[in-house]
């Protein structure tokens, strides 16, 4: 074999080896730290390190392409509109992006409604947060998802007594620190409005029963914590905040509206009773998607022009599904309790999110809040789309 032929053969083998190795480099995955989104990027063989490396160093820039952390600030129409005149994305049971601890017969399948931290949700564009404060047995304040069951489940081999069952998620301090971090980013581009609606108060240290609640001392403690953490960013003394242009409310930067499901708060210190939100929030209480959709669209037709309308695009476990998730799986199935998690139901509902703008634009009836479990940028994108059509 002559020299030219040998060189050609070696070059051919070298090229083939490169191509073979290139083909063996699977795509990489990178978790965007601000949004929690996962992006894919190409990986190529690097002969110097004899390993697969990113084909381009710019793959992290794709995270920035997906950021919606200033979507309200960047849209002139939104800035000129009032809160009542736009659509925003909202998180149901927003504190349940992680599980801190649970009661004896509860776990993530019946309590976890999100998979992102507050800063991740904020950077994904979420602007309305359903906050459920819980004081635990030690007196510490968390966000949680609890339900009074109040019944015995007798499976012959074991009797389960279900009371206040649920889990704790993020602490109140973690939530407030994330919100402060987000709104404190300086002007000129941060003119976002955040709504924190606090409801379903429970104090298990004082009232571990069906009627667990916050008394005035508990509410005062909560108010003090919020004011100290968010001082300078709360909208104060403006009970007409629903009708004011957003660029008026955010003249000095991003702002937070805090409402309590309790009487006696006029906003003078930045805390308002929920009545000032004029909220319509009625979930469908079904695990059937078509029933939920029909119910929510009818409610939107009936109430969206007169109330601050929350479209609850959520599916709810029935009793058998929930109990099946709260007791050992084998026992549950044997006695007819078959678990279906909140996440699996959320996946069904969220697959059909695109139907919301279609219905809204067709009927000219618009939600003020697109409210879901397991939020993502999808709700933000759809809110932007609806706002363009309004």
pLDDT at 12: 45
Looking at 52-66, 82-96, 370-384, which range is the least confident one?
Answer: 52-66
Q: Give backbone dihedrals phi and psi of 52, rounded to 5 degrees, phi first.
A: -80, 135
Domain boundary among 63, 81, 109: 63
**307 and 364 inside one domain:** yes
User: In which band, very low, low, confident or very high, does the pLDDT at 331 lie, cut at 50, 70 and 90?
Assistant: low
**How many angstroms separate the CA atoms of 199 and 123, rounded?**
24
Domain boundary among 63, 92, 115: 63
**111 and 167 inside one domain:** yes
**How many angstroms separate the CA atoms of 255 and 169, rounded?**
25
- What 3-state class would DSSP assign to 333? helix
**291 and 305 inside one domain:** yes
**255 and 204 inside one domain:** yes
Copy the structure tokens of residue 29: 């995955």
Is the pLDDT at 299 greater than 60, yes or no?
yes
pLDDT at 18: 45
**154 and 228 inside one domain:** yes
Q: How many domains, in total, are found in the chain? A: 2
Maximum distance among all Cα pairs of the chain, rounded to whole angstroms: 97
pLDDT at 15: 44
Is the pLDDT at 230 greater than 90, yes or no?
yes
- Looking at residues 149-174, what average pLDDT do you find? 80
> Residue 183 burial by CB count (10 A; 0-12/13-18/19+): exposed, middle or buried?
buried
**116 and 146 inside one domain:** yes
| Selected residue with higher pLDDT from 165 and 215 | 215
Q: Percentage helix, strand, coil, to 5, in the chain?
A: 35, 25, 40
**109 and 30 inside one domain:** no
Q: In angstroms, how far is the first alpha carbon of the chain from the final one?
A: 77
pLDDT at 344: 96
| Selected residue with higher pLDDT from 100 and 320 | 100
Is the pLDDT at 65 greater than 70, yes or no?
no
Residue among 260, 257, 262, 233 at smallest CA distance from 243: 257
- Looking at residues 150-156, what average pLDDT do you find? 66
CATH number reported for the structural domain that contains residue 309 in this entry: 3.20.20.190
CA distances (Å), origin 297, targets 72, 108, 300, 311, 349:
25, 29, 5, 8, 14
**90 and 22 inside one domain:** no
Residue 54's domain comprises 3-63
**304 and 373 inside one domain:** yes
Domain boundary among 63, 79, 112: 63
pTM of the full structure: 0.85
Rounded to the nearest 5 degrees, what angle is found at the Cα of 266, between the Cα atoms of 262 and 267?
Answer: 105
Q: Give backbone dihedrals phi and psi of 54, rounded to 5 degrees, phi first.
A: -55, 135
β-bridge partners, 372: 91
**312 and 346 inside one domain:** yes
* pLDDT above 90 coverage of the chain, percent: 69
**24 and 75 inside one domain:** no
Give the number of other Cβ atoms within 10 Å of residue 305's Cβ: 11
CA 66 to chain centre: 16
pLDDT at 163: 75
**191 and 322 inside one domain:** yes
């Amino acid at each position: 074999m002559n020299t030219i032929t040998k060189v050609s053969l070696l070059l051919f083998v070298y090229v083939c080896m490169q191509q073979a190795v290139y083909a063996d480099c699977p795509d990489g995955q990178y978790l965007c730290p601000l949004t929690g989104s996962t992006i894919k990027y190409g990986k190529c063989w690097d002969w110097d390190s004899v390993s697969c490396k990113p084909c381009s160093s710019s793959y992290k820039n794709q995270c920035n392409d997906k950021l919606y952390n200033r979507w309200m600030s960047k849209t002139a129409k939104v800035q000129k509109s009032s809160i009542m005149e736009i659509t925003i994305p909202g998180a149901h049971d927003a504190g349940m992006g992680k599980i801190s601890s649970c009661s004896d017969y509860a776990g993530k399948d019946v309590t976890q409604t999100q998979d992102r931290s507050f800063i991740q949700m904020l950077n994904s564009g979420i602007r309305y947060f359903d906050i459920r404060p819980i004081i635990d047995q030690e007196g510490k304040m968390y966000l949680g998802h609890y339900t009074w069951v109040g019944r015995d489940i007798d499976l012959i081999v074991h009797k389960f007594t279900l009371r206040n069952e649920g889990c704790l998620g993020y602490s109140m301090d973690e939530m407030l620190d994330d919100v402060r971090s987000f709104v404190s980013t300086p002007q000129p581009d941060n003119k976002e409005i955040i709504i924190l609606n606090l409801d379903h108060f429970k104090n298990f240290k004082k009232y571990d029963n069906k009627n667990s609640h916050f008394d005035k001392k508990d509410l005062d403690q909560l108010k003090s914590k919020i004011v100290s953490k968010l001082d300078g960013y709360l909208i104060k003394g403006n009970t007409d905040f629903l009708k004011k242009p957003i660029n008026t409310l955010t003249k000095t930067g991003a702002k937070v509206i805090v409402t309590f499901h309790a009487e006696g708060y006029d906003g003078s210190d930045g805390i308002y009773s929920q009545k000032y939100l004029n909220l319509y929030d009625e979930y469908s209480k079904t695990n059937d998607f078509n029933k939920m959709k029909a119910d929510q669209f009818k409610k939107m037709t009936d109430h969206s022009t007169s109330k601050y309308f929350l479209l609850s695009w959520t599916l709810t476990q029935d009793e058998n599904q929930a109990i099946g998730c709260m007791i050992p799986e084998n026992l549950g199935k044997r006695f007819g309790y078959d678990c279906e998690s909140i996440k699996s139901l959320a996946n069904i509902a969220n697959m059909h999110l695109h139907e919301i703008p279609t219905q809204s634009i067709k009927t000219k009836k618009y939600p003020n809040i697109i409210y879901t479990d397991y939020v993502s940028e999808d709700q933000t994108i759809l809110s932007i789309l609806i706002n363009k059509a309004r």
